[in-house]
Amino acid sequence: MAQAIDADAATSAAVSHRQFVVATGAVLAVAVALAVFWLSQRTWSGGPLDGSDGGGIVVDAFPAGSSFTYGLQNLTYSGDDEITVESVRLVPGDPSIPELGEAVMAYGPSRLDGRLYNLFDVRAGWPPGNDAVPAAGARIRAQDDIGLELLVGLRVPSVEQGIGTLSGVTVTYRADGHRYRKTFRTSVTICPAGHDEKCDSFERALHS
């Protein structure tokens, strides 16, 4: 009788051990899955996306209150996996250029002519041409040294304001299973046509 009880106890202990191992494995699997999910959702600074940085232009060709398209910022990628742009946020200057409130658009490699020059940096009017696509969701291929040109809709400041600046753009994107956020400081400064005194002063200050 004692042997039967001992056998039952041993069997029960073995079952309990197996249940403990299974439960522990399940907890570890959930923990690993949560860690992978957390890493995929975390936003890292910088990352492998390349782009124009540190440059800028000054424009005084458009009348006060008119819309224009700013397309100086190019995004490229030298890595081995495709990049997907999630969002683009404008970084205003001081004083800022009035935004049109439209989504940032983009041109792909087809924007280049046969001489491999950009077709434009700044042009009057908005929206851009029909071959432009929303920047959010656009993809940059692996080893793409042409990439995307971001297109931003802006409005020329009033004569009273006299000058406005966009300091750059912040791009949130996915690469290699991770989310990154990177700011590019390529600026445009604009004054109303015929009222370029503040732009002249701004340029002189840059070169002094």
DSSP codes, 81-135: S-EEEEEEEEEE-SSBPPB--PPPEEE-GGGB-TT--BS-SEEESSS--TT-EES
The predicted structure's pLDDT at residue 151? 93
51 in the same domain as 27:
no
123 in the same domain as 26:
no
**Sign of the CA dihedral with 122 first, then 124, 129, and 135 last:** positive
13 in the same domain as 68:
no
Cβ proximity of 84 and 61 under 8 Å = no
Strands 144-155 and 105-107, sheet pairing: antiparallel
Question: In 184-206, which positions are buried (b, 16+ CB within 10 angstroms) versus exposed (e)?
Answer: bebbbbbbbeebbebbeeeeeee
The predicted structure's pLDDT at residue 199? 92
167 in the same domain as 185:
yes
Three-class secondary structure of residue 25 per DSSP = helix
34 in the same domain as 56:
no
How far is 176 from 207, CA to CA, in rounded Å?
41
The predicted structure's pLDDT at residue 38? 45
Q: Which residues of the chain have pLDDT under 50?
A: 31-38, 115
131 in the same domain as 51:
yes
The model's pLDDT over 47-90, given as tens digits with 9 standing for 90+, comes to 999 988 877 889 999 999 999 999 878 899 888 889 999 999 99
97 in the same domain as 31:
no
The predicted structure's pLDDT at residue 36? 45
What is the number of domains present in the chain? 2
94 in the same domain as 69:
yes
The predicted structure's pLDDT at residue 54? 79
175 in the same domain as 77:
yes
- Three-state secondary structure readout of 128-197: CCCCCEECCCCEECCCEEEEEEEEEEEECCCCCCCCEEEEEEEEEEEECCEEEEEEECCEEEECCCCCCH
Q: Give the range of the structural domain holding residue 175, as residue numbers without chain letter.
A: 45-206
32 in the same domain as 119:
no
131 in the same domain as 187:
yes
25 in the same domain as 127:
no
Count CB-CB contacts under 10 A for residue 141.
Answer: 13
